[in-house]
Amino acid sequence: MAGADIRNDADRADAWTVADAAELYRINVWSDGFFVVNDKGHVAVRPFEDEALSIDVMDVVAEARRRNVGFPLLLRFQEVLRARVRRLCQSFADAIADSGYGNEYRAVYPIKVNQLHEVVEEVLDAGKPYGLGLECGSKAELVATLPHLGSDETLLICNGVKDPSMLALILSAQRLGKNVIPVMEKYAEFEQLTGLAEEAGATTRFGVRIRLRTAGAGRWADSGGYRSKFGISLPELIELVGRLEAIGGGHEFVLLHFHLGSQISDIQRLKQAAKEVAQIYADL
């Protein structure tokens, strides 16, 4: 019986094809054409959309060994990054054109995803025709993003909790003409920001994160909605607008932000949130 099992295993191995490997790992499902199994049975990368050029990953590994490159080895295909940025931005551009929407879509790349200079510059360059910007969520990330604002038009959204030193750095960038918009997570941040601006004899532009009544769905539902520990409540928003009108000084409230959660599969929650925030925006 053991001999028969060995022969059967050998027969199955001989019958195994490249198509079987591709089907087993579902490459055609998740790769969107950027990764394939080639005729050798190796994983290959096709970095350029609509082009037949492919790079055998095993050939790259063999060449790295020949050059005595240490392992583990990270392979980064910049053109894949570029293609995904273009796909995202162009999809929104097409939808805007089809619907006759009278405004634009401005994507921002969260620098926490990957801070490497080469990656950030590749993403920014690919998204330049679409006005793509950056997003940071801490003072350390703010310091890392500022050197990438080569153009004064490049948008930088600053999320996260902000202490006075971070707010002062944001104000300095604004005074240099950079398009930096801090998003107020708490009413106290608004008071600190406007206070620092007045001390410096400057004006500021800012956004506000609001807590919606609509809650998200799934594992991270509590990170958004009215129960979230971050964001400004609607009564606080009314107070903020009143305070802004009272102090005057040319400060600009230019952005309204909300966070519903992550990986939301219930489209009805998204529709409810869109309706709620649209009503708030219109009332403002």
Q: Provide the pLDDT for residue 7.
A: 44
Cβ–Cβ < 8 Å for 165, 133: no
Q: Provide the pLDDT for residue 2.
A: 47
SS (H, E, C) 136-189: ECCHHHHHHHHHHCCCCCCEEEECCCCCHHHHHHHHHHHHCCCEEEEEECCHHH
Q: Provide the pLDDT for residue 15.
A: 80
Count the neighbouring beta carbons within 10 Å of the beta carbon of residue 207.
18
Q: What string of pLDDT tens digits covers the 284 residues of the chain?
A: 544 454 455 456 568 888 888 888 899 899 988 999 998 889 999 998 777 889 999 999 999 999 999 899 989 899 999 999 999 999 999 999 999 998 999 999 999 999 999 999 999 999 999 999 999 999 999 999 999 998 778 999 999 999 999 999 999 999 999 999 999 999 999 999 999 999 999 999 999 999 988 776 656 555 556 667 789 999 999 999 999 999 887 899 999 999 887 777 888 888 999 999 999 999 98
Residue 209: enclosing H or E segment and its boundaries?
Answer: strand 205-210
Tell me the C-alpha distance between 69 and 63, whole Å. Answer: 9
Count the neighbouring beta carbons within 10 Å of the beta carbon of residue 39.
8
Tell me the C-alpha distance between 211 and 221, whole Å. Answer: 13
Residue 93: enclosing H or E segment and its boundaries?
Answer: helix 78-99
Cis preceding-peptide flag for 147 (omega within 30 of 0): no
Q: Provide the pLDDT for residue 220.
A: 53
| Strand order through the sheet with 252-258 | 108-110, 133-136, 155-158, 179-184, 205-210, 252-258
Q: Provide the pLDDT for residue 132.
A: 96
N-to-C CA span, the chain: 79
Query: What are the chain's domains?
Result: 2-66 (no CATH), 159-283 (3.20.20.10)
Contacts 24+ apart (CB under 8 A), 277-284: 277/210, 277/212, 280/210, 280/234, 280/237, 280/256, 281/256, 284/241, 284/253, 284/256
- How many residues would you count in the chain? 284
Query: Model pTM greater than 0.75?
Result: yes
